[in-house]
Copies of this chain bind each other. A is one copy, B any other.
Amino acid sequence: MNAPDKFAHLLALTREPFPASTKGRIAGSRPDLQVPVRDVLLTNGETVSLYDTSGPYTDPSAEIDVRRGLAGLRAAWIDERGDTEGYEGRIRQALDDGAKHAEQQAPQEHERIAQLRAEAAALQRQPRRAKSGMNVTQMHYARRGIVTPEMEYVALRENGRREWMAEYLADEERARRVAGNPLGASIPKIITPEFVRDEVARGRAIIPANINHPEVEPMAIGRNFKVKINANIGNSAVTSSIEEEVEKLVWAIRWGADNVMDLSTGKNIHTTRDWIVRNSPVPIGTVPIYQALEKVGGVAEDLTWAIFRDTLIEQAEQGVDYFTIHAGLRLPFIPMTAKRMTGIVSRGGSIMAKWCIAHHRESFLYEHFEEICEIMKAYDVSFSLGDGLRPGCGADANDEAQFAELRTLGELTQIAWKHDVQTMIEGPGHVPLHMIQANMDEQLKHCHEAPFYTLGPLTIDIAPGYDHIASAIGAAMIGWMGTAMLCYVTPKEHLGLPDRDDVKQGIIAYKIAAHAADVAKGHPGARARDDALSKARFEFRWEDQFNLGLDPDTARDFHDETLPKDSSKVAHFCSMCGPKFCSMKITQEVREYAAQGMDQKSREFREGGGEFYVPIQPAKG
């Protein structure tokens, strides 16, 4: 196991491309619209293009300086729309990095902190906001019939290499079997920009893309797109460097995180966020109440709407793409949790519950929801409506409190949509297998097909140390049923802070869950990767098998533990059976033999009535 301070020793970003992989580009309708893909060159000369979340970091030709941030690929698109303006922005306050941290600093820390802030200040872009009376959300454009470059980008990105499917599905019987069961999803064979626009307009998908985050490579979260995953990162108590914070992000997107949430709660929370957003090609989400709580010294009762509102503007100016807002946790729902086995386990939910009870009044998030919408639409920040009452164990799943909040989230969704604010809905949590469907059904029913974004769910409670697996099971199921994004769980869940390897383990488990869901839904293109890998496996193309997998490094290492010689990577056998006992080798012989003689035999058999199943003996009842 790695010590938790492992990040402290990282000085450089992980920049190596994946093995046998290059950064490809799919050209869009304008020169500055180039969608990245990972092209994997196979040993048989074929190329497989994969959806690529890793950004410029895996492109050796990209010059990256974390102190300057990534290029603003959307800057021109935003500018061209003419509905936003740069402005001086909110004045940076001492409280932004937490109320108590400044006074607690040892004298020798001052210099270091000053340096960190100077570095962050150098990164800061001038903030933009909607011009007075304007609404700059992707949903607003979509509803006015405008196909934005962001929508076109998403369409090209989602399509992938669907031409594989055509060849593969030429076998009609196979096509029928592998068509998937979309369970109500409507995934077209080809994703057009117009389809994206329509999905965003009706609220069934969101494109999280704050106008102050022009570095983002647009992506969509919606039931009719590929299932996405989110990874959480956050600064540790110890002050870290830009490289360390950015490397956490780079590591997460390398392995496939489509979104990253910055859940920092410690020192330098504002500064850290600057570093992350400026260097992130994926949408960044936050839970603003965490920072607001830091500003009031950790005392939930001292929170006010004014402090919270100011925090929203602060983060919107920095470029955060979506906010988790626990506005559905209303005062009357709180007593419903009293009989629970594990009460309220969401941090945001606990904070708001405490506030409501201390003041004996309705949540200020709920009461000021329309004002929040006004802020969101001025920057195109998306809502991730938080489930503060999600169950913390299987015993509390699907209870009155949880579903009362969910229905309120549906109500809030319609208010957000009235303002054309993009919205997704957070979901549990801990839910046994047989109770997962009800979560999806209730969400679809009450939240009007707004994208569902669930944490797991964990199907059992007895797997501390392995909750990435216990939850990947639930995540795959709810993904198949229609959940649009899966928030990962690491092996450290319930136990401690994830280190670098835990982050990777959590992401891979969730890539598995998301892909299992995509295949089950019959997503065109999803299965192409499975088939390319299976074909490589059958043809003993070991290198291709590794390189098409979710984690080529681990696959290669595992193989090499048993058969380390390079020659065995082209050998027509594997370590499990050895050279004279390989089932795949025998199958190839069978196939050759069958091609010669069995066709005739088989025909005779079928012509004889095809009675394969005649009992040898009369069966006993």
Contacts and interface: CB of A to CB of B under 8 A. Distances in A.
A620 B587 contact: no
Interface string A550-567: 110011011101110000
Given A265-B578, A342-B538, A464-B549, A177 B496 contact: no
Contacts of A576: 496-497
A584 interface: yes
Contact of A357 (B370, B397, B463, B593): B593
Count of identical protomers in the assembly: 2
Contacts of A177: 397-399, 435
A560 to B, nearest CB: 8
A353 B590 contact: yes
Given A393-B530, A469-B509, A619-B414, A459 B519 contact: yes
A147 interface: no
A101 interface: no
Contact of A612 (B398, B408, B516): B408
B334 A598 contact: yes
Contacts of A333: 612
A394 B530 contact: yes
Interface string A289-308: 00001000010100000000
A459 B476 contact: yes
Q: Among the interface residues A464, A494, A601, which one has the most CB atoms of the partner chain B within 10 A?
A: A464
Nearest to A180: B434
Contacts of A434: 180-181, 480, 519-522
A616 interface: yes
Nearest to A341: B534
Interface stretch (A20-28, A213-221, A240-248, A343-351): A343-351
B496 A300 contact: no
A512 B598 contact: no
A550 B360 contact: no
B581 A538 contact: no
A433 B499 contact: no
A417 interface: yes
Contacts of A598: 334-335, 338, 357
A616 to B, nearest CB: 6
A497 B342 CA distance: 42
A344 to B, nearest CB: 4
A337 B590 contact: yes
Contacts of A533: 461-462, 464
A473 B575 contact: no
Given A350-B590, A558-B495, A601 B335 contact: yes
Interface in A387-432: 392-395, 397-400, 404, 407-408, 411, 414-415, 417-418, 432
Contacts of A465: 549-551, 554-555, 557-558
Nearest to A534: B393
Given A333-B612, A394-B534, A496-B559, A344 B587 contact: yes
A487 to B, nearest CB: 15
Given A342-B584, A418-B617, A335 B520 contact: no
A161 interface: no
A546 B464 contact: yes
Nearest to A535: B341
B593 A499 contact: no
A616 B411 contact: yes
A343 B558 contact: no
A584 B473 contact: no
Contacts of A549: 462-465
A588 interface: yes
A515 B462 contact: yes
Given A344-B590, A349-B583, A357-B593, 17 more contacts: A177-B398, A178-B394, A181-B434, A335-B601, A342-B584, A350-B583, A350-B584, A354-B590, A360-B601, A394-B519, A407-B613, A414-B619, A434-B520, A460-B530, A465-B551, A469-B512, A496-B575
28 contacts: A173-B400, A177-B398, A265-B581, A332-B602, A335-B594, A337-B591, A341-B531, A343-B590, A350-B584, A353-B587, A393-B531, A393-B537, A394-B527, A395-B531, A414-B619, A415-B616, A415-B617, A418-B617, A433-B477, A433-B520, A459-B519, A462-B515, A464-B558, A465-B555, A472-B472, A477-B477, A496-B561, A496-B563
Which 6 A-B pairs rank lowest in CB-CB distance, beginning with the nearest?
A343-B587, A414-B619, A496-B562, A393-B534, A433-B520, A350-B586
